[in-house]
Amino acid sequence: MTDATPKPQAQARNPLHGLTLEAIVTALFDEYGWAGLDARIPLRCFAFDPSIKSSLKFLRKTPWARDKVEGLYLFMLRERQRKSGA
């Protein structure tokens, strides 16, 4: 008999694989600060009384905002790589 369960595909090329949302938000905060995050992605959780905990709570409930944050994280990684390779 064959195993009908699909095997997970390796995600070697996915830079978000294995990262938690908390790690992503923390890295972005370390890179840009709250004001910089708010300037790049205008969200209330970055502008008014910001914290990692409140941002995570909002981003876990709001898929479109999480997509924007993940996109900014990927942009940050590309910029770091571009600067280090130049």
pLDDT, one tens digit per residue, over 5-60 is 666 666 768 888 889 999 999 999 999 999 999 999 999 999 999 999 999 999 99
Question: How many residues does the structure list for the chain?
Answer: 86
Query: Is-contact 76 31, C-beta < 8 A?
Result: yes
Q: What is the pTM of this model?
A: 0.81
Helix axes 63-85, 52-61, angle to 10 degrees: 120
Domains of the chain by residue range: 21-85
CATH architecture of 21-85: Orthogonal Bundle (1.10)
